[in-house]
Amino acid sequence: MSSVRLVDLRETPLDVTEVVAALDDESSGGLTLFVGRVRDHDGGKGVDGLDYSAHPSALEKMREVCERVAAEHAVTGVAAVHRVGSLSIGDVAVVVATTAAHRGVAFDASRALIDTLKAEVPIWKHQRFADGSDEWVGTP
């Protein structure tokens, strides 16, 4: 059985409780959770909101990254969920979590998971700034 328990892209608000519940098992002594939220600033500019767009292959690529992280770390569970669409300041944009027998492995795996997702999954951020300007982030 794969240790990848939950992978999804959603236009609806993300639920941290769902991610934690997906990784519930009695063999895990550590669960590390990262929650990425929309902040009100970037590069010295005020941010009003943003939109996330995903390539049609993004979900498949997310699953590949999760499977790779699971194979490279002694985890018992992996989960990753990312929002798409329009988000407001404070909204949860991404939730990743891993479980392992020991906390160190869970921490290492979660960091690898979020860093690799951001680097490799074709999800693009369009930021809207308070001064009326905008910026695309993560586009090819």
Structurally, at CATH architecture level, domain 4-137 sits in Alpha-Beta Complex (3.90)
Q: Strand, helix or coil at 62?
A: helix
Rounded Cα–Cα distance for residues 96 and 31 (Å): 10
The structure tokens listed for 21 are: 């519940």
Lookup result for tokens 């700034």: 129
Q: What pTM was estimated for this model as a whole?
A: 0.95
The H or E element that residue 140 is part of is none
| pLDDT the model gives residue 1 | 65
Which residues are within 8 A (CB) of 25 and not within 5 positions of it... i.e. 6 or more apart? 76, 77, 99
| pLDDT the model gives residue 140 | 72
Per-residue tens of pLDDT for the chain, all 140 residues: 689 999 999 999 999 999 999 999 999 999 999 999 999 999 899 999 999 999 999 999 999 999 999 999 999 999 999 999 999 999 999 999 999 999 999 999 999 999 999 999 999 999 999 999 999 988 77
